[in-house]
Amino acid sequence: MHTPDTTALDPNPLRQFQAWFAEAETAGIEAPESIALATATKDGRPSLRMVLLKHADESGFGFYTNLESRKALELAANPVAALLAYWQALGRQVRVEGTVEPASREASAAYFATRSPGSRLAAWASPQSRPIPDRGELQRLVEDARRRFPDGDVPLPAHWGGYRLVPDTYEFWQQGADRLHDRIRYNREDAGWRRERLAP
């Protein structure tokens, strides 16, 4: 499991992330795509939540959400974020930092169409991050949405869409004995990526 030298990792951090992600899937880790996403207000007050990573490719790290949620409002004011993938069974984590850009409406609509009918109705119904009196209110909102789309053809709401985090920093962490963990950081430079080892 150890990465004793920086040359043991791929010089391209995206490919290295994809390799570790594939190993997490092969290991049978439940929901390896569950990641922690940190955003912050314009004055630096942070917030953190779990989201599902929907893609990690040359365009960035993609996720979807209600565009009126706290994270979306924070990203509108301060379009930078960090994410963390942690796979305990492998003793590994990856941190990724960068700028965040909205996904196209076409990309958001294409992904939205793959969601279950119930999830699509919930996207219309839930006033995400805003107070509601009780769970019954949420159920009523779902029923209102169901009546609005009786044929089950639920389109993409205007208040729902995707984002992609475009990395400028990666850090790969591999658990080691006696807390002598391996930490390899990649920083984006004009010519590509610079790798360096960090003390644990």
- Cite the active site residues: 179
How far apart are alpha carbons 137 and 143 in whole angstroms? 10
Contact 54, 162 (CB under 8 A): yes
How far apart are alpha carbons 101 and 41 in whole angstroms? 16
Cα end-to-end distance, the chain, whole Å:
16
Q: Is 136 exposed, middle or buried (0-12, 13-18, 19+ CB in 10 A)?
A: exposed
Strand partners, 166: 99
Comparing CA positions, the residue from 111, 118, 106, 109 lying closest to residue 155 is 109
C-beta neighbour count of 65 within 10 angstroms: 22
Q: Quick one: how far is CA 81 from the chain centroid?
A: 10
